[in-house]
Each structure stands twice: as C-alpha cells, then as structure tokens.
Structure 1
C-alpha cells in the first residue's frame, strides 16, 4: 500500500511540474519552463520531452534540444523530429523573408489577434517604446522584456485601423526581438524581427529595415552562425543604401537619380514603386531634365491609380508644386489629372 501511495505522490508531483512548465512558458519565462519540463521529461511524462525541446530551441540550447527530440521520437512522438527540422530551417526562412523585404516585396502575412481596445497615436506608442528602450540599455533585456511584450500586446492591434502606426509598432517588435535575444531567447526573437521587417516595409522605412537586420546579424554572430550573420548584414547594407538614396533626394539630384534608377526596378506595383518614381521625377526636374521628369511623373501617376496612401499623395503634391515653380506646366498637368480623378 505504501508503495502505491509513494508512486501516486510521485506521479502527482511530476504532473504538477508539467503544469508549472506550461504556465511559465505561457508567461514567457522560458528558462523556468525548461526546469519544470525537464523534471517531467526525465520521468517520461506524456509529451514533456517535446515541450522541453521546443523551449530549449527557443532558448538557443540546440544540442540539448536535439537530444530531447531524439528521446521523444523514441517514446512515440514523431512530431519531435519535425520540430528539429523546423528549428534548423528557422534562420534560412527568416533570411528569405528579409531578402523579399529588402527588394520591396510586400509580405503582410499576419494580423493581430484582436481589434484595438482604444486608439493610440504613433507619438504615444513611440514615447512608451523609447522609455522601455532606456530601461533595456540601463538594466538589460531580462529586466524589461515582459514589459515590452505588454506594450506590444496593447499597440499591435493599431496596425489594423491606422496605417500611420506601422513604423511605431514595427519599432516595438524590433525592441521585443532585441530584448528576447538579450534574455537568452533567440528563437523567440526571430518572429518579432520578422514582423518588424514586414511593418517597416509597409511603411517604406528603409532606415528601420537596416536597423532590424543589423540587430539580427549581431544575434546570429552571438549564436555562432557567422554565415547567416553576414547575409543579414549584407541585406541591411542594401536597406541602408536605399535609405541614403531617399535622403539624398534633391540635395544631390545626380547621385539620387543613379541610386533611385537602380532601386525602382526592384519594386512591383504599389506604394514603394510610386514613391520611387515620384522621387525620380523630382530629381530629374531639379536637374532641369524636363522630358525625363515628365516621363517619370506619368509613370508615378499611373502607378498610384489604385493606391490609397497619404504619403504617396503628399509626394505627388510636392512634385506638382516644384513643377509649377519651375514653369514645367506639362509635368504639373500630369499630377493635376491625378487629383482631379481622385478628388
């Protein structure tokens, strides 16, 4: 009888460890979750070995995670083998996503789980993000990662109702990825960095894309993946060059035209192409090349035909104003026709 009671108490204690592991994983306390799941996995409780391997992969503990995958498969959980393959491919999938983002491909492939409970301005989102960034710099990612996730949960739904918030929310995802990395959770960091890139592309914020990819490169280096780090840095360099080209526009039109002419060919239809064509028209106008400016203006107007973007409209209006100031009335007519049709 005492033997049966002892076994019952042991089983109950192991089950409690498994439940504690589940709760810690849900709360984002992955190292604590690993401790609890390890106890349960040692006693071969259910799928504890699979759950432990998943947490260990997220923590970057790949050798131990692979051992538990092998044990789980031996215990009749074949999905653990797929878990190992998925982890080995995670960096490659991220880099493929980053490459698409860098060449301007829109890849909005997820939506927040809920609508916003209240409206938040981009300025309010950015102010809170900056305060959390200061905490990260002063005390480290572990100290503020959970607070960053709470901030993200509150602000991410804004991307559904307000496209002006895309950059602000992208910066929160970037910080969530960075603090996850600094908390020893590289597997958790990558999805945040991927979403930051997606939103930065939606906002056409090349500088933010470059920043995210630089952070990812540093994370890959830290976790002994120099080849993948180099790819991330190279993609970040392309984004930084694009950001430089955007900022050089009109201050050095000849150099801007050369950079923008290369860039425009990488874009399909959409806002990125419209903005780049408009920038080309403005810079050719600044150089006094009216035929080229008019041609690019026509293309920009056509590209914007089905586009609803306040930023694109602003850029076209600036081109219209500059054309009128330069006496390029044929070019200005191209822009006016756009506003006549849409107004």
Structure 2
C-alpha cells in the first residue's frame, strides 16, 4: 500500500465510536408515564489510525464535537419508546504537512451535519427489582431503525452514512453488596449496502459510593461483518492486476477504477474498534444523574485511534 493510499484511508475512516457514545442505552428504563431526557456532549480527537493490521501516525489532530438529545418514554412499566438525534462538527485539519511544505495534503475545512437518528422500542423482559430471586438480572430487548444524517460522508464523516436497523440486548445487575453491579449490551446492526453489518458490545462494572456516586469501568467495541479489507480494493489480488484501459470509449479512464469508486466506496470497508471506558457519575436529590466519561481506542482495524471525553445528564420527568 502506497503512502498516499494510507492517507486516503485515514480520511475515509467513519467515526462510529461517537454515535455509540452519544446514544448509549441500558437495560434499566423509565416506568409508565415517565420521560427520561438525556442531553449528551462528546468531544473526540485522534492523530493516528489502525490501517488494516498496521498503525499509522500523522501530523495534525482531527477533532470531532457532537451534541445529542436522547428521549426515552415509558409506555408501560416494561415497554419504552426511544428517540435520539443530534448535531456534530468535524474540525478543520491537514493530516500531512511535512518536509518543509514539499509534501502536503489539502486542508479539510470545518464540516457540520445532523447525526444519525435512532428510533426504537425496548421491552424489559425481566426486572430484577420485581423478581423474588436475588440473583436475577434486568434484561431488555430493543428493536429500532437508523436514519442517516445529512453530513458529507466523503472523505470522512460523523457516521456511516447509511439507513438501517438494529436489534439490541441489554442486561444489568445490581449485586446489592459493597455497592457493586454490572451493565452490558450485545447488538447487531444492519445497514444499506455496501456498508457492512456490525456486531456491537459493551460491558462494565460499577461501584456505588455513598449511594450517590458511581464509578464505572468497562469496554465497548464493534466487530465488522464483511466489508472491504484494504484502503484500496485494488490491493486484493486478482483485482489489483486489472487494467481495463479503453482509449476508444473513455480516453485515459480505467474502467475498473471507475467501478471501484462507484460500487466499492470507502464507507463499505470493514471497521473494528475496541475501547476502554471509565465514567464518574453523581445522582442528586431529585433523581437527576450526571455522568462524565472518557474512552480510549486500544485496538482496531481500519479505524481511528480515538480519545473521547463526554458529559451526559439524565433528567427524569413524571407525566
């Protein structure tokens, strides 16, 4: 893979980590006629990426800022409707500016856009607080749809730029000793082709301190199901040997390159990431929950090495 092709892949990276953090949900949910309003602010930066099985660094930091609003309404004690969307900014950057200006990439200007919108229904299959068994966890199942945002997805974007659907399984358990508990998620997300399907996971342990402070430590990730493996699909034999020049039809145009650009675009490539997360939360006397969190990408495939800090507030209202 040439150096400039590596640069292209860096620009093509989709920032799914942000949308995961912004719209994160859990097994616990509002009860009947209760509305949870959750504004979320997330800021991420990266100056390196995992390019297939390699790691590459570059000169400038890419900064992404996003704000979102998540609404969750309890239709019944077990059935919840949720809706989330937001707005984001991809900051101005130039990822290559070295050799005294002799080798540069064009500067990418500030870009703005509406984030992907998620809507769904979540059903609480088991509620640990209503169970007669002390070991019983809370388990919820969700099904929902994804409407792609209006951001520019080329050369990189605030999401995958594709409509789709997802199924989410959430679990949670308060151990009821030493303030310990656990949270988790396992999801399958399907989008329009050529964006590949994804398996997403989350798992964490928390510690309650004085019943009002929560310390959470865990991990979140995505495992791409299919998709293109390299920055340039022509890198994969035998396609890299094709050279369909057509001087008579389209002078100077390689038909295979034309097909790659239109049928195998950058957002069709597989993306894996695995993040470590830590959060510190606080509950006030009115039941409002404030959470400051940080995550760092420690492993990946065709993804940015993100450092993310965020702040969320969950505000419950009885209607």
Q: TM-score, normalised by structure 2?
A: 0.21
Larger Rg: 1 or 2?
A: 1
Q: Which has the higher contact order (CA 8 A, sep 6+)?
A: 2
Structure with more of its chain in strand, by fraction: 2
